Amino acid sequence: MFNATNDGEMKGFRLKFENGWTVSIQFHERNYCDKDNSTAEMAAYDKHGNWYKFDYNHMDFEEQIIGWQTPEQVSDFMHIIRGLGDEQSSFLSDDRKTG
């Protein structure tokens, strides 16, 4: 389960890694998650503001946010982002970058 502190605006947290990437995990009623906080939405961006793009293989588009993720999926994603090197922000091609 996800637990949140409520500052009136957001429920969730951001975690910035030494490699410059930040992971955002949110679980508010306006986010893409279950109301019982059993899932959360997640996103990540590098120190230059380039967002990680989730590639939906079954669709013709990419998204900056993915919702309804379990704690295990969030943990796996944070591990991936933590392992990216500073130079790996270029792993996103120009058409996959924003910001």
pLDDT band at 9 (very low <50, low <70, confident <90, very high): low
pLDDT band at 28 (very low <50, low <70, confident <90, very high): confident
Which segments within 1-99 are labelled E, that is strand? Answer: 12-16, 22-26, 40-45, 54-55, 62-63, 66-69
Residue of 1 and 35 predicted with greater confidence: 35
Tell me which DSSP letter residue 50 carries: P
Residue 78 near residue 15 (C-beta atoms within 8 A): yes
Q: What are the distances in angstroms from CA 13 to CA 17, 26, 50, 85? A: 13, 6, 19, 22
pLDDT above 80 for 13: yes
pLDDT band at 2 (very low <50, low <70, confident <90, very high): very low
Instruction: Mention every residue, 6+ apart, whose C-beta is less than 8 A from residue 72.
Output: none
Q: What is residue 87's predicted lDDT score, i.e. its pLDDT?
A: 55
Q: Domain map of the chain by residue range?
A: 12-86
Other beta carbons within 10 Å of 9 = 6
